[in-house]
């Protein structure tokens, strides 16, 4: 993929590192360290380089371009992919998608705006939902909640079947609770007071 | 638990001017140019945060009225680095880092973004 030329750069401005040279927009080969993966070598990356001290500065657009390549390498979904998946799944707004996926209020917005990237595992999960829209509908409708209610009803029936004698009306379990008489009220014993009285009496 | 210790008020470098702060904010809003130095770029990769997040953190810092300071030269001369400001910024992940910015024309370069040095007094927010 060709690196896009950044529309905004510091070309022609004084380098703050050496304060002698000036920046020039040039293309270089950039090596990006990617956690748990091999380093990613990106040719033709646009950077501002000082013509005197070779100090390199990355324009914001270049950083975003590198981030998108890293996301691709680490199989994280890019904002464009997320938007396409959301539209394919028939979800109109980012809020609805956030709600369906059970995310925090702002998380999905951040993903689609590119402010954050979903993790690799979350990307796998969303890819799976994109591949199986039925699964997404199941998730969106929170279908397991109904299933849990059914399970509770079934379990009650099972208990009756397991203990028929308890369920029969002829068995009466009498439960009598008798309250024990309250303890006699007595003054709380304070050993310190008692001792001082003894000491006083001895004097 | 270690107690957080901040640089005393009278030892702090002078605060950045309103114009300088506005310039940082504009650059973060992408109305100006926001670039990244090699060191800051490496920090972003290391912390696994995007450039948008660090710009967002700076905007939040300024919007909340937190402080931005000038920076002294490292040669103990007491001189300030011209057109250079710094702040103790809270990242979305919840930890604080120093962000140092060089103001350029109408834009800026985020030169450094680094953790606090253990044992050193912190710039207040």
Q: Is it the case that residue A89 has pLDDT exceeding 70?
A: yes
Mean pLDDT of A3-18: 85
Q: Which residue is closest to A7 within chain B, CA to CA?
A: B33
Q: Is it the case that residue B17 has pLDDT exceeding 80?
A: yes
Q: Confidence band (pLDDT; 50, 70, 90) for B66?
A: very high
Q: Is it the case that residue A34 has pLDDT exceeding 90?
A: no
For A38-76, what is each residue's pLDDT tens digit?
788 889 999 999 999 988 999 988 988 888 888 888 888
Whether the CB-CB separation of A64 and A70 falls below 8 Å is answered with no
Q: Which residues of B touch A114 (CB under 8 A)?
A: 50, 52
Q: Confidence band (pLDDT; 50, 70, 90) for B8?
A: confident
Higher pLDDT, A123 or B2: A123
Residue B46 domain flag:
yes
Residue B80 domain flag:
yes
Q: Torsions phi, psi of A59, nearest 5?
A: -65, 150
The topology under which CATH files domain A1-74 is Ubiquitin-like (UB roll) (3.10.20)
Looking at chain A, the whole-number percentage of residues with pLDDT higher than 90 is 30
Distance CA A153, CA A129 (A): 30
Residues 6+ apart with CB under 8 A from A98: A104, A105, A107, A108, A109
Q: Confidence band (pLDDT; 50, 70, 90) for B81?
A: confident
pTM: 0.66
Q: C-alpha distances in angstroms, A49 versus A176, B62, B115?
A: 90, 29, 26
- Tokens 């905004």 locate to A8
Q: Do A63 and B84 touch (CB under 8 A)?
A: no
B81: CATH: 3.30.2310
Q: Is it the case that residue B57 has pLDDT exceeding 60?
A: yes
Whether the CB-CB separation of A108 and A101 falls below 8 Å is answered with yes
Mean pLDDT of B17-29: 90
Q: Confidence band (pLDDT; 50, 70, 90) for B85?
A: very high
CATH number of A79-140: 1.10.260
Q: Is it the case that residue A178 has pLDDT exceeding 70?
A: no
Residue B5 domain flag:
no
Mean pLDDT of A133-160: 73
Mean pLDDT of A150-161: 60
Q: Which residue is closest to A40 within chain B, CA to CA?
A: B45
Q: Which range marks the domain in which residue B22 is found?
A: 13-114
Instruction: Write the residue in A33, A57, A115 that is nearest to B56 by C-beta.
Output: A115
For A157-175, what is each residue's pLDDT tens digit?
566 666 677 666 665 556 5
Residue B125 domain flag:
no
Closest-CA distance, A7 to chain B, in angstroms, reads 9
Q: Look at chain B and report how many structural domains it folds into.
A: 1
Distance CA A43, CA A16 (A): 26
Residue B40 domain flag:
yes
Residue B7 domain flag:
no
Residue B121 domain flag:
no
Q: Confidence band (pLDDT; 50, 70, 90) for B115?
A: confident
Q: Confidence band (pLDDT; 50, 70, 90) for A179?
A: low
In this prediction, residue A117 carries a pLDDT of 79
Q: Helix axis angle, A133-140 relative to A120-131, nearest 10°? A: 110
Tell me how crowded residue B12 is: count the other CB atoms within 10 A of its CB: 15
Residue B2 domain flag:
no
Closest-CA distance, A113 to chain B, in angstroms, reads 9
Q: Is it the case that residue A10 has pLDDT exceeding 80?
A: yes
Complex ipTM value = 0.85
Domain spans of chain A, in order of start? 1-74, 79-140
Q: Which residues of B touch A58 (CB under 8 A)?
A: 35-38, 41
Is B109 at the interface with chain A, CB within 8 A? yes
The number of angstroms, rounded, from the C-alpha of B84 to the middle of its chain's C-alpha atoms is 9
């Amino acid at each position: 993929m060709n690196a896009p030329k950044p529309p905004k750069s510091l070309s022609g401005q004084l380098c703050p590192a050496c304060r002698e040279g000036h920046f020039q927009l040039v293309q270089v080969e950039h090596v990006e360290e990617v956690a748990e993966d091999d380093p990613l070598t990106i040719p033709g990356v646009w950077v501002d380089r000082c013509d005197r001290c070779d100090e390199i500065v990355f324009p914001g657009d270049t950083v975003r371009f590198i981030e998108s390549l890293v996301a691709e390498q680490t199989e994280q979904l890019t904002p464009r992919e997320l938007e396409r998946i959301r539209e394919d799944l028939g979800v109109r707004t980012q809020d609805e998608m956030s709600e369906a996926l059970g995310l925090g209020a702002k998380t999905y917005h951040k993903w689609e705006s590119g402010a954050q990237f979903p993790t690799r595992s979350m990307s796998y999960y969303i890819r799976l939902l994109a591949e199986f829209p039925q699964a997404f509908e199941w998730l969106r409708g929170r279908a397991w909640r109904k299933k849990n209610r059914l399970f509770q009803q079934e379990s009650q029936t099972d208990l009756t079947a397991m203990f028929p004698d308890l369920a029969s009306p002829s068995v009466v379990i009498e439960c009598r609770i008798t309250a024990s008489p309250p303890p006699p009220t007595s003054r709380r014993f304070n050993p310190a007071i008692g001792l001082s009285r003894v000491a006083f009496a001895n004097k | 638990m270690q107690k957080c210790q901040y640089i005393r008020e009278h030892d702090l470098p002078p605060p950045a001017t309103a114009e300088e702060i506005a310039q940082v904010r504009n650059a973060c809003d992408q109305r100006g140019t926001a670039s990244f130095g090699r060191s800051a770029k490496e920090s972003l990769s290391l912390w696994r945060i995007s450039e948008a997040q660090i710009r967002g953190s700076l905007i939040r810092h300024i919007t909340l009225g937190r402080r931005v300071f000038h920076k002294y030269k490292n040669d103990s001369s007491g001189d300030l680095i011209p057109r250079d400001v710094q702040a103790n910024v809270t990242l979305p992940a919840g930890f604080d880092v120093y962000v140092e910015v060089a103001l350029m024309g109408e834009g800026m370069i985020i030169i450094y973004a680094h953790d606090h040095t253990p044992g050193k007094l912190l710039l207040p927010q």
